[in-house]
């Protein structure tokens, strides 16, 4: 089967589940939080991916004051930043990141700056020069603010950008920003992204003569 080819001017990359597999840490920390708050950990894990922690807490405990969610989120971020056991790169992430090094791209993550640096370092991945982290936005994914800021920071229109995402909240944010989405991994498979890959080994990057980015996506 021939490869699918997508063309963009810039790439906007989620981190967790897209470049870095941090599921082990996320699940450890959120299981503890769920048990502390009398919630079913398995049910909680179904909604934690993609959002900032306070936003996940608001979904799970809708009647709780938001200031308590923000306080808990600070504790959660400290726990996650201190725990790197099992943090590894998504398949092909190292080659992919090197392939796009000279092309317009940005990290757009729900992690804060410290957590993003710790996880990218633990996974042995190069950190993009432009980073849109939790401190950069007023609203969490699925709000499109982060992706729109990433596009603006790179100097491109939303329609010129392709988002790489793994979660429901992240894919919804990319669509709301008016961008095409490449879904990465099992969580993305059922969410009808514009293209889907199991990991980043299925993508070959080519720089076109006009400066655009060609993504050759192979079937598996």
Residues noted as catalytic: 14, 16
Name the token pair of 112: 């804060």
Q: What is the DSSP letter of 41?
A: H
**Spatial distance between the Cα atoms of 132 and 143, rounded to a whole number of angstroms:** 13
Q: Are strands 195-197 and 180-184 parallel, antiparallel or unpaired?
A: parallel
Closest to 204 measured CA to CA, from 5, 18, 21, 1: 5
| C-alpha pair distances (Å), 25 with each of 79, 93, 138, 175 | 9, 19, 25, 28
Closest to 181 measured CA to CA, from 197, 202, 204, 165: 165
Q: Are 48 and 30 in contact (CB under 8 A)?
A: yes
């Amino acid at each position: 089967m021939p490869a699918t080819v997508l063309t963009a001017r810039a790439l906007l990359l989620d981190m967790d589940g897209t470049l870095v597999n941090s599921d082990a840490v996320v699940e450890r920390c959120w299981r503890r939080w769920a048990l502390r708050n009398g919630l079913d950990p398995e049910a909680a894990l179904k909604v934690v991916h993609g959002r900032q922690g306070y936003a996940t807490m608001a979904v799970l405990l809708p009647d709780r004051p938001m200031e308590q969610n923000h306080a808990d989120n600070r504790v959660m971020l400290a726990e996650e930043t201190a725990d790197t056991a099992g943090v590894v790169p998504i398949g092909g992430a190292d080659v992919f990141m090197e392939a796009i090094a000279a092309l317009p791209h940005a990290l757009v993550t729900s992690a804060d700056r410290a957590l993003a640096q710790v996880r990218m370092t633990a996974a042995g991945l190069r950190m993009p020069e432009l980073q849109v982290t939790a401190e950069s936005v007023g609203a969490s994914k699925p709000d499109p603010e982060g992706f729109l800021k990433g596009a603006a920071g790179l100097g491109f229109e939303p329609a010129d950008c392709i988002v790489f995402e793994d979660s429901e909240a992240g894919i919804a944010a990319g669509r709301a920003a008016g961008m095409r989405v490449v879904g990465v991994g099992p969580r993305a498979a059922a969410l009808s992204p514009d293209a889907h890959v199991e990991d980043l080994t299925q993508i070959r990057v080519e720089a076109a003569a006009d400066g655009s980015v060609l993504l050759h996506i192979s079937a598996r």
